[in-house]
Amino acid sequence: MSDALLSGARARRAAELDAADDLAGLRERFTLPEGVVYLDGNSLGALAATVAARLADVVTEQWGNQLIRSWTEGDTPWWTAPERIGDRLAPLVGAAPGQVVVGDSTSVNLFKALVGAARLAGPGRTRLLVDAATFPTDGYIAASAARMTGLTVTPVDPAAAAEAMGPDTAVVLLNHADYRTGRLHDLPALTAAARAAGAVIVWDLCHTAGALPVGLDEHGVDLAVGCTYKYLNGGPGAPAYLYIAARHQSAFDSPLPGWNGHADPFAMAPSYEAARGVARGRVGTPDILSMLALDAALDVWDGVTVEAVRAKSLALTDFFLDCVAAYVPQGAVEVVTPAEHGHRASQVSLRTEDASGVMRELISRGVIGDFRAPDILRFGFTPLYVGFADAERAARTLGHIFG
């Protein structure tokens, strides 16, 4: 089949898939530039259409007119935003209300979680297992938390993490998905293994929350953290979140006992008494503008299930891989993302020479993905606004660059 016929057949197939897609209309809930294929939602999600107007109201009315009264007055007072928005986010990670608090960065929340986990684990355990291929900041934070708690960091391959867990393991830190390759790790099995070993497990959900079901409560996860500016579309620098399972909340001892996490914050007491429930995960005054931008962005999930998003994600990435195989000359790229659905998150990563240059050329042609050193092209598929025609165009453009 000629190249023209080949691309025509796949373009028609993309149109058929888009026409049958029950989630296709969700793209209208986002503000996206015309003519651009955006496959970098695993770094920064697109702008939800409701955010600009909501933030304008926050600035002009809540801040401008209501002033400090907005902290405590109205239907959605600022003071309760971390827990209220946490409860909105909770179903997207499979958590019941009262277990997710929003605020601070992922790094800060991870530090709280790791030190808190070590304190939950108790004495006699000496090791902190850490995903050997983790995002660098997670490794830095883990090393600092280990120094503070007297633990020894042991890097592990998540595929072999269960075998590495033992009676000396205090804490296990794993990424639900590898940020370079898009490999999805087995959260249910690894959580069960940690529990069997008597260890406390902490999951980093940055590359899965909002793209696939997580099931924190269902699988008995102890603690989890994640950002909100990727698949949750909260905006640049949007606050992260901390999940503390209800069974651990009364014993969770945060290493950052800020006034916002105090049982009686306005008493200004010289000694610290932690708040009840997940609020003890709070530290300082929350960033209200970013917090309420996230709140508005979560409106795009109205009437949408994570299960439907996952089904489309797998269909999109399957179709993209098929198009890459058809359009890109053999040997030009190596697919490093697993083919098996059970091991694939919502991205496709390709290894190639001069990956940085190839990505710059793709972006110049209107296909925005990203590059990870030294040789990885990453394409993140956010099913809320990415369609099959986008996937076909991205693969075809990549083929033209190598052609």
Sequence-ordered list of residues with C-beta below 8 angstroms from that of 228, at least 6 positions apart, any chain: 89, 102, 209, 234, 238, 239, 240, 241, 294, 297
Question: In which band, very low, low, confident or very high, does the pLDDT at 8 lie, cut at 50, 70 and 90?
Answer: confident
pLDDT digits (tens, 9 = 90+) for 78-94: 999 999 999 999 999 99
Query: Same structural domain for residues 256 and 216?
Result: yes
Query: Same structural domain for residues 265 and 160?
Result: yes
Query: Same structural domain for residues 370 and 222?
Result: no
Query: Same structural domain for residues 211 and 316?
Result: no
* pLDDT surpassing 60 at residue 205: yes
Whole-number average pLDDT of the chain: 97
pLDDT at 145: 98
Instruction: Give domain status of residue 325, yes or no.
Output: yes
pLDDT at 217: 98
Q: Looking at the annotation, which residues are catalytic?
A: 135, 204, 229-230, 378
pTM of the complete model? 0.96
pLDDT at 7: 74
Query: Same structural domain for residues 211 and 255?
Result: yes
Tally of CB atoms within 10 A around 287? 17
200 Rama class: left (phi>0) / alpha (psi -120 to 50) / beta: beta
pLDDT digits (tens, 9 = 90+) for 331-370: 999 999 999 999 999 999 999 999 999 999 999 999 999 9
Sequence-ordered list of residues with C-beta below 8 angstroms from that of 330, at least 6 positions apart, any chain: none
Mutual orientation of helices 106-121 and 136-149 as an angle, nearest 10°?
40
* pLDDT surpassing 70 at residue 5: no
Instruction: Give domain status of residue 19, yes or no.
Output: yes
CATH number of the structural domain spanning residue 314: 3.90.1150.10
Please compute the mean of the pLDDT values over residues 59-73 and round it to a whole number: 97
What is the percent of the chain with per-residue pLDDT over 70, rounded to a whole number?
99
Tally of CB atoms within 10 A around 139? 17
- Given a contact cutoff of 8 angstroms between Cβ atoms, the answer to whether 371 and 377 are in contact is yes
Please compute the mean of the pLDDT values over residues 155-167 and round it to a whole number: 97
Query: Same structural domain for residues 161 and 280?
Result: yes
Stronger pLDDT, 122 or 361, i.e. the higher one: 361
Q: Which residue has the tokens 């087995």?
A: 186
Query: Same structural domain for residues 267 and 337?
Result: no
Write out the H or E segment, with its range, that includes residue 297. Answer: helix 288-297
pLDDT at 4: 64
CA separation for the pair 317, 387 (Å, rounded): 11
Q: Could you give the number of structural domains in the chain?
A: 2
Sequence-ordered list of residues with C-beta below 8 angstroms from that of 179, at least 6 positions apart, any chain: 42, 135, 206, 207, 372
Query: Same structural domain for residues 287 and 365?
Result: no
Please compute the mean of the pLDDT values over residues 288-316 and round it to a whole number: 98
* pLDDT surpassing 80 at residue 2: no
Query: Same structural domain for residues 347 and 291?
Result: no
Query: Same structural domain for residues 27 and 74?
Result: no
Question: In which band, very low, low, confident or very high, does the pLDDT at 403 lie, cut at 50, 70 and 90?
Answer: confident
CA separation for the pair 247, 224 (Å, rounded): 14
Domain region containing 283: 55-301
pLDDT at 360: 98
pLDDT digits (tens, 9 = 90+) for 123-157: 999 999 999 999 999 999 999 999 999 999 999 99
Please compute the mean of the pLDDT values over residues 146-172 and round it to a whole number: 97
CA separation for the pair 402, 328 (Å, rounded): 7
Query: Same structural domain for residues 335 and 281?
Result: no
Query: Same structural domain for residues 275 and 317?
Result: no
Question: In which band, very low, low, confident or very high, does the pLDDT at 6 lie, cut at 50, 70 and 90?
Answer: low
CATH number of the structural domain spanning residue 130: 3.40.640.10
